[in-house]
Amino acid sequence: MAETLRVLVTGAAGQIGYSLLYSIANGDVFGKDQPIILHLLDITPALGALGGVKLELEDCSLPLLRDVVCTDQEAVAFKDIDIAVLVGAMPRKEGMERKDLLAANVRIFKSQGTALETHAKKTVKVLVVGNPANTNCLIASKYAPSIPAENFSCLTRLDHNRAKGQVALKTGVTAAQVRKVTIWGNHSSTQFPDLRHAEVTLATGETKSAYDAIQDENWIKNTFIPVVQKRGAAIIAARKLSSAMSAAKAICDHLRDWWFGTPENDWVSMGVISDGSYGVEKGLLYSFPVKCSNKTWTIVQGLEINDWARDLMNKTAQELVEERNDALEACNK
């Protein structure tokens, strides 16, 4: 059996935490022979609910789960962890602007970046989910300078999965038959869900480009893109709560692919530190198409970018530059 992994989930008493913890503890993410110790962090008023989550985890009778540490102390939560899933944040409510969220969350991620630096293993892999995810991730990384920036990523896999789901519905196939979709940029409504390199294997067994399979460029530009961009808001409007089940599934997909690698003929979207690829400012935390192997991601290179795509990629980059600048200003206050 492998050495026990210490996996931290913050905001563990929240709705994403509730949907996520079973899958991690059940071996659905790091493998069925990987023992796990869960570190669950939440704020003090949520400790009662968190205790209830621990009781339920015990009642799941999971063979891989070795211990569950519940705490409101970062020093305990971040101690010797191998994986950090930073979910805890103030969630976006109906009508709330992302900017309102920024200042409140910068404080949280500055503190948690510092806790990573001080207490976590230097090999820790960090996935930031709490919004604004890209910028929170950048801030956490900034305050953990001895941990490689490549060990930080933010979740755009939910957007990626949403894009696959929409194409699958449109073309009458399953999501598994849709490959190579890309989410560029920010996990926000400026993101660019890109089908220009995507492929669909039709029911006949024939593989076509997504554009040829869909045969409706107008739908791609005027329905598909806004639907994916605004899906989070549509779910809040319908549920009066933000996505949780699909978010938890996307977190598992992101972590599993980072850990075990992406399939040969596909890629995934992850928010990662830009190395300047595709003209995206170096150091920006931007969602790219990536392939993973040996627990390392690499940005897919050589995709053709036309003027239309460039414009959309720049727009979302610009929003990230503004968020970053506002966040850095808030850090110094």
Which residues bind to ligand NAX, rule: CB under 6 A?
Answer: 10-11, 13-17, 41-43, 46, 87-89, 91-92, 108, 129-131, 133, 155, 158, 187, 232, 242-244, 247
Strands 83-86 and 65-71: unpaired
Q: Work out how close the CB of 207 gets to ligand NAX at its nearest, in angstroms, rounded to a whole number.
A: 29
Is 6 marked as binding a ligand? no
Is 198 marked as binding a ligand? no
Residue closer to ligand NAX, measured from CB, 42 or 194: 42
Q: What is the CA 264 to chain-centroid distance, rounded? A: 21
Q: Work out how close the CB of 32 gets to ligand NAX at its nearest, in angstroms, rounded to a whole number.
A: 26
Which entry of 160, 187, 197, 254 is annotated as an active-site residue?
187
The answer to whether 187 is a known catalytic residue is yes
Residue closer to ligand NAX, measured from CB, 99 or 310: 99
If one counts every other C-beta atom within 10 angstroms of the C-beta of residue 176, the result is 10
Q: What does the block give as tokens for 219?
A: 């739908």
Residue closer to ligand NAX, measured from CB, 129 or 284: 129
- E strands present in the chain: 5-10, 36-41, 65-71, 83-86, 125-128, 152-154, 178-179, 182-184, 192-194, 199-201, 207-209, 268-273, 285-293, 296-299
As a whole number of angstroms, the distance between CA 251 and CA 329 comes to 29
Q: What is the CA 278 to chain-centroid distance, rounded? A: 21
Q: Work out how close the CB of 134 gets to ligand NAX at its nearest, in angstroms, rounded to a whole number.
A: 9
The residue sitting closest to ligand NAX, measured at its beta carbon, is 14
Element (H, E) at 134: helix 133-142
The single-letter code of the amino acid at 272 is: V
Is 129 marked as binding a ligand? yes
Q: What is the dihedral of CA 145, 186, 262, 290, to 10 degrees?
A: -70
Contact status, residue 147 vs residue 109, Cβ threshold 8 Å? no
Is 162 marked as binding a ligand? yes
Residue closer to ligand NAX, measured from CB, 162 or 171: 162
Is 239 marked as binding a ligand? no
Q: Work out how close the CB of 75 gets to ligand NAX at its nearest, in angstroms, rounded to a whole number.
A: 13
Tell me which residues are annotated as active site.
187
Binding positions for NAD(+) are 11-17, 42, 105, 129-131
> Which residues sit in the known binding site?
11-17, 42, 92, 98, 105, 129-131, 162
